[in-house]
Amino acid sequence: MLVHPVPANATYDFASDVRTGLSRGDQKELPSKYLYDNVGSALFEVISHLPEYGLTRADERLLRRHADDIVDRIPGPVAVTELGSGSGKKTRWLLEALCRRQHTSYYPVEISRSALAMCERELRDIDSISILGFETEYLDGLLRVAAYRKPGQHLLVLFLGSTIGNFDRPAGVQFLGEVRRILDPGDSLLLGTDLEKSTAQLLAAYNDELGVTAAFNLNLLSRINRELEGNFEVSQFAHVARINQQARSIEMHLRSRRRQQVTIPAAEIEVELEENETIWTESSHKYRLPEIGDIARHAGFQCMAQWIDDEWPFAENLLVAQ
């Protein structure tokens, strides 16, 4: 697989986002996209196998069971791009179904180099596939993929795993609108969305008994130490999963176990944390089925079909650009 490299200013963006997020006087925060360096991506892969976290398996089950039905609804010829491919494992079923119909170009877009490499290893044995990875952010990758479009070729965008849930609701609609603007009418978007479930189920999923999600969250501090010369004492922070009823989301925070001061030279910042003060690192929004059609319409799509898992409330939604 050929890989288009990450833009040269990636470290600078990380430093400046860390400076902005940790300088806030009210709620300190760090963008969740930085959870996924090589260590974070590997930990997320482990999370997807945990008994408490059914989201990835539901996504995979739906794609495996309904791959032919999904592919039948997509006009050809079509090229496929996936925003945040991860290991690519769950995408195999769709790609195999498509490759039985036509030779398929698959363009995974990922900010994690190791996840892209894993994705290529996972999928390269499929007959009639060519893979070209883009190591960059979603919209930049999608723009580059759109430039590869051949005359008459449709585009199928995969945005699986409920990554949309990691945007707050207005930002999610805005993001889908930006995706729509890059697409042509008739192009498709397969959107995975985690549905509402009980508080107990959510708290267990985001605070598993083995502590893998805690390690995934705390790794963000270690990453700042590794890449920005920070001096976080990781053991002085605790992982917290917290329900936000109003936002219909579950949040991850890092709680400072004591009053402390942290220096991050490459971000040119000194941070003071009070005892029990938290750094907000992720929100994971949950959806009601009917609201997905509304979100789609606001972003310029029509929701043509939905597939719902029978074990873990999760939906695959096929949206068509209007």
Q: If binding is defined by CB under 6 A, does position 161 make contact with ligand AVI?
A: yes
Residue of the chain from 138, 206, 232, 314 that contacts ligand AVI (CB under 6 A): 206
Which C-beta is closer to ligand AVI: that of 55 or that of 67?
A: 55
Look at residues 13, 21, 11 and name the one whose alpha carbon lies nearest to residue 273: 21
Closest CB 65 distance from ligand AVI, rounded Å: 20
Q: If binding is defined by CB under 6 A, does position 213 make contact with ligand AVI?
A: yes
Sketch the per residue contact string, 110 through 149, with ligand AVI: x for CB under 6 A, - otherwise.
Answer: ----------------------------------------
Which C-beta is closer to ligand AVI: that of 105 or that of 193?
A: 193
Strand ordering across the sheet containing 249-256? 28-29, 278-285, 249-256, 237-244
Residue of the chain from 55, 190, 254, 292 that contacts ligand AVI (CB under 6 A): 55
Residues in 163-182 that interact with ligand AVI by CB under 6 A: 163, 165-166
Chain position carrying tokens 């479009």? 149
Angle of helix 38-47 relative to helix 212-228, nearest 10 degrees, comes to 180
- Give 204's contacts (C-beta < 8 A, 6+ positions apart): 52
Closest CB 61 distance from ligand AVI, rounded Å: 16
Residues in 20-49 that interact with ligand AVI by CB under 6 A: 47
User: DSSP labels for 41-93?
Assistant: HHHHHHHTT-TT--HHHHHHHHHHHHHHHHHHTS-SSEEEEEES-TT-GGGHH
Cα 96–Cα 6–Cα 131 angle in degrees, nearest 5: 20
Q: If binding is defined by CB under 6 A, does position 282 make contact with ligand AVI?
A: yes
Closest CB 173 distance from ligand AVI, rounded Å: 17
Stretch that binds ligand AVI, among 113-121, 162-170, 293-301, 305-313 (CB under 6 A): 162-170
Closest CB 143 distance from ligand AVI, rounded Å: 22
Q: Where are the alpha helices (DSSP H) in 48-207?
A: 55-72, 92-101, 113-123, 138-147, 169-182, 199-205
Which C-beta is closer to ligand AVI: that of 74 or that of 214?
A: 214
Closest CB 163 distance from ligand AVI, rounded Å: 5
CA distance linking residue 73 with residue 156, whole number of Å: 11
CA distance linking residue 275 with residue 257, whole number of Å: 6
Could you count the other beta carbons within 10 Å of the beta carbon of residue 173? 18
Closest CB 150 distance from ligand AVI, rounded Å: 32
Q: With CB under 6 A, what is the number of residues at the site for ligand AVI? A: 11
Which strand (E) or helix (H) includes residue 192?
strand 188-194
Stretch that binds ligand AVI, among 22-30, 115-123, 151-159, 161-169 (CB under 6 A): 161-169
What is the largest distance, in Å, between two alpha-carbon atoms of the chain?
61
Q: Which residue is nearest to ligand AVI (CB)?
A: 284
Tokens standing for 299?
């972003």
> Which positions lie near ligand AVI, rule CB under 6 A?
47, 55, 161-163, 165-166, 206, 213, 282, 284
